Amino acid sequence: MKKNLLSMLLLLLVASVASAQAPKREFRGAWLHTVHQRQYAKMNPEQTQKYLKGLLDSLQMTGHNAVVFQVRPSADALYPSKLEPWSRFLTGTPGVAPVPEWDPLQFMITESHKRGMELHAWLNPYRVTTSKDEKLAPNHIYYKHPERFVSYDGKMYFDPGLPENREFIQEVVADIVSRYNVDAIHMDDYFYPYPVKGQEFPDAESFAKYGGDLERGDWRRQNVNLLIEGLHKVIQKHKPWVRLGISPFGIWRNKRNDERGSDTNGLQNYDELYADVILWTERGWVDYMLPQLYWELEKEVASSEKLAYWWNDYANGRHMYIGQDVHKTMTVKDINGSKDPNQLAHKIALSRELPNIHGNCWWPGYSVTRNFKGIADSLATKEQNTKAIIPTYSWMDNVAPEEVVKLKSKKDKAGNVILSWEMPIPTGVMQEANAYGVYVFADGENVNLENPKALKAIVFADVNTVIDKKGKASVTYELKDLKKGKYTVVVTVLDRAWNESLNGVETTVKI
């Protein structure tokens, strides 16, 4: 009886949230992995760029505002690096640069920002190879320091117990953050490798040297803790507005092993992967957590519904997004009593109802762009049919930026509206204009900046700003497809932490 009542309440929740408009503030991400993606090596740079633009166009049309792009799949790089070789997943051969040489990471930052989307640079920390027969590039660090690597289940890894390996990974992150205008550094669930029955991870030598009085499990967790803390410090040193995000396996610990754990019965971050992920938000080392809740809502051993509630309770004041599996979401029917053939609307409604959940991220993003089982159609017309701004990172900064200066509007020959404005002078580095919100209100319509339907564009400053000879920075943006009539257009400033200027600046437009 209790279970049936809960199901009925959940169905009412889905109906009420689904009928409401999407929120103005929400993280809407998609993972684009490069590991084991053979298509890139088959294309030349021009074809690859066209392909990537198509993916980004699709994600923009389906309401996404963040792209999580894998740039370091296996101790290699999809960008020119002095520390690691070019990735074989890009060119087909490890260490061989694309011809003509280009920079996929910079390309994705620019093209994502052109479309009003963040770019999160996704790195795998410890993985070096993905199979026993894989060959490394001649300039790989392994050949210089083979003693720093171990083999497990036929694959090679950096030994997480060695301080010099943590320092090297931090150096890689520092290189990316200092050279590129990334919005975040992202790592997923691969810390210590997933355990293989009957095989012990071969870190006895480093444990003997550095373990001290700790039990091996505690020592392994400390190693990962030190890595995450170190990454946080490195990012803060170079660009304090760049976030650090982690996408862990969906279960921290099961309740049978820890009273704080979830009502589940699966593999655990804490015990098997040695990732004490909730500690990282408690200590403030991580800016967002994105647990992979890839199961159906009612899965017995790991219900994504129960886990959503659990992660909501353990956000610890940081952003919490839900990692959603496209295939499970679109092929599994909704809970009993619902007529929905899939769980899409239900999962999104649940994420919007829970107060400490700030959005979703879809795995794999390629399935969204391929419109698997109609997910792109549904997102574009229903669940994400308005634009959304990234939620504010208030612990980084909570001061609103200054307003734009000298907002002007004019019509071109095609009848489009050309907006232009000057950047405000920031009161501090965190108040620098990261992007701008462009709102459009029809004649007589109430000017309400909290109305997500009025938000027509998120205009990133780095790809839309022109500096004149006097050093004055100005932005131009073209508003298209407005019907004949009179409109009020409002432009606001969005700063490094996604705080928005208080009132915006208005201009009147006639078509």
Same domain, 379 and 418: no
Cα–Cα nearest to 288, from 92, 20, 16, 29: 29
Range of the domain at 483: 405-510
Residue in the structure block whose two tokens are 């117990």? 161
Find the CATH number of the domain harbouring 488: 2.60.40.10
Same domain, 377 and 498: no
Number of domains in the chain: 2
Same domain, 242 and 119: yes
Specify if 490 maps to a domain. yes
- What Å distances lie between residue 396 and 41, 235, 281, 318, 429, CA to CA? 39, 13, 14, 10, 11
Q: pLDDT tens for residues 315-345? A: 999 999 999 999 999 999 999 788 999 999 9
Question: What's phi and psi for 6, nearest 5 deg?
Answer: -60, -45
Same domain, 371 and 416: no
> Which segments of 123-203 does DSSP mark as H helices, in order?
163-179
Same domain, 145 and 184: yes
Tokens at 352, concatenated: 């919007």
Taking the C-alpha atoms of residue 410 and residue 229, their distance in angstroms, rounded to an integer, is 50
Same domain, 237 and 136: yes
Question: What's phi and psi for 173, nearest 5 deg?
Answer: -65, -40
Same domain, 368 and 490: no
Same domain, 204 and 286: yes
Question: What's phi and psi for 295, nearest 5 deg?
Answer: -95, 170
Specify if 194 maps to a domain. yes
Tens place of pLDDT per residue across the chain (511 aa):
444 444 455 555 555 555 568 999 999 999 999 999 999 999 999 999 999 999 999 999 999 999 999 999 999 999 999 999 999 999 999 999 999 999 999 999 999 999 999 999 999 999 999 998 899 999 999 999 999 999 999 999 999 999 999 999 999 999 999 999 999 999 999 999 999 999 999 999 999 999 999 999 999 999 999 999 999 999 999 999 999 999 999 999 999 999 999 999 999 999 999 999 999 999 999 999 999 999 999 999 999 999 999 999 999 999 999 999 999 999 999 997 889 999 999 999 999 999 999 999 999 999 999 999 999 999 999 999 999 999 999 999 999 999 999 999 998 888 889 999 999 999 999 999 999 999 999 999 999 999 999 999 999 999 999 988 888 889 999 998 899 999 999 999 999 999 999 999 999 999 8
Specify if 396 maps to a domain. no
DSSP string, 101-137: ---HHHHHHHHHHHTT-EEEEEE-SSB--SSTTPPPP
Same domain, 81 and 35: yes
Specify if 389 maps to a domain. no
| CB 498, CB 485: distance < 8 Å | no
Taking the C-alpha atoms of residue 438 and residue 433, their distance in angstroms, rounded to an integer, is 14
Same domain, 27 and 107: yes
Specify if 374 maps to a domain. yes
Specify if 494 maps to a domain. yes
Specify if 388 maps to a domain. no
